[in-house]
Chains A and B, each alone.
Chain A
């Protein structure tokens, strides 16, 4: 069933796959992100309570949702790396970690900037905000642990275990607003119910979400290519690749 995946355990095949995927992720991602943000920030109607301030939702919500999705993807790569001992899986994991950390930071920062005018405070130690902050520390922990080892296979294993352990934080973030009483409001779109947002406000949000997802994938794929080249620079196929690109 998963046989088709096996060739990509080889760095060379993984590199070429990334290279082929990159334009299909990058351009639609940039386009959707721009469309969603411009539509949301300039053309969507004002909110009845929050006026124009609510527009930061078009950056805050996509980055918050995808900070969690990126973490799950990273942990998935870590699982493959640990169980099947794929070197490329650890490379994918470490390619995604800084991207996820930046997205988490954007979610926290835009949340603070939204909280100040609406709630009246930049930060409050409620369950949602605290668990999202822990998510950022998990990302930073994975990056730091990976960087601490000289042997990158060992580094991948250690950081991979940490990434897997951290998955337990993901449901806590998602359900924090239901399990405990918090200053943060409940979920608007990531629930099984009908979204609690008017359709003309929802569409740009979904487009921005799709755009950011593709953008994160594109940046991860680029970082993955770099990681493969960095680890494999002494291999003949990388030398051949370098020689052919000098000719261009």
Chain B
């Protein structure tokens, strides 16, 4: 390689290292803000020492505790409990739940923290995992009975 090319390669490499450094620092600084949601234990115990305050708008993401879903019989109101590994947080919501919503499912809800462990949600989104398998295999491996999201009720 002739010296001019070497110089250009070194310049490109140098700029590359600087940019990678700058972006890494930026992402570290923004780390908490890039997370889409708080987990229930972060809401109760705080995240990096900062607890979300009552009245704050936030997103929560966790698993729906089996047996915790209770529906109002005359309206669309529903309440359920979310957990990750620690304490649970209750979510109240009035509206149509996504098709994938069921007990044991990962859920992301946007709303206002009205009490230390209670969220009034205005949007509920379902999270699904990266595993794909035919229903027969799922039944064999996980003991999950296939629920076609296009038909049937959400109560499993």
**Residue ranges of A at the interface with B (Cβ–Cβ < 8 Å):** 45-54, 57, 79, 82-84, 117-121, 124-127, 161, 164-165, 167-168, 172, 179-183, 185-188, 196-198, 200-201
Contact = CB atoms under 8 A, between A and B. Distances in A.
A198 B132 contact: yes
B8 A48 contact: no
Contact of B27 (A47, A172, A198): A172
Interface of B: 5, 8-9, 12, 15-16, 19-20, 23, 27, 31, 34-37, 39, 61, 97-100, 108, 123-135, 137-139, 144, 146-150
B23 A126 contact: no
B1 to A, nearest CB: 9
Contact of A118 (B128, B134, B146): B128
Given A50-B128, A119-B126, A201-B133, 13 more contacts: A45-B135, A51-B148, A51-B149, A52-B150, A53-B149, A83-B12, A118-B98, A124-B36, A125-B36, A180-B31, A185-B130, A188-B130, A188-B132
B33 to A, nearest CB: 9
Question: Per DSSP, are chain B's interface residues mostly helix, strand or loop, or mixed?
Answer: mixed
Contacts of B144: 48
B19 to A, nearest CB: 6
Nearest to B138: A48
A46 B128 contact: no
B12 A46 contact: no
B134 A200 contact: yes
Highest count of chain B CB atoms <10 Å: which of A48, A186, A188: A48
A197 to B, nearest CB: 4
B31 A197 contact: no
A53 B98 CA distance: 13
A180 B12 contact: no
B55 to A, nearest CB: 22
Contacts of A125: 36
B146 A48 contact: yes
Contacts of A47: 132-135
5 contacts: A49-B138, A120-B98, A164-B12, A168-B19, A197-B132
B8 A83 contact: yes
Contacts of A167: 16
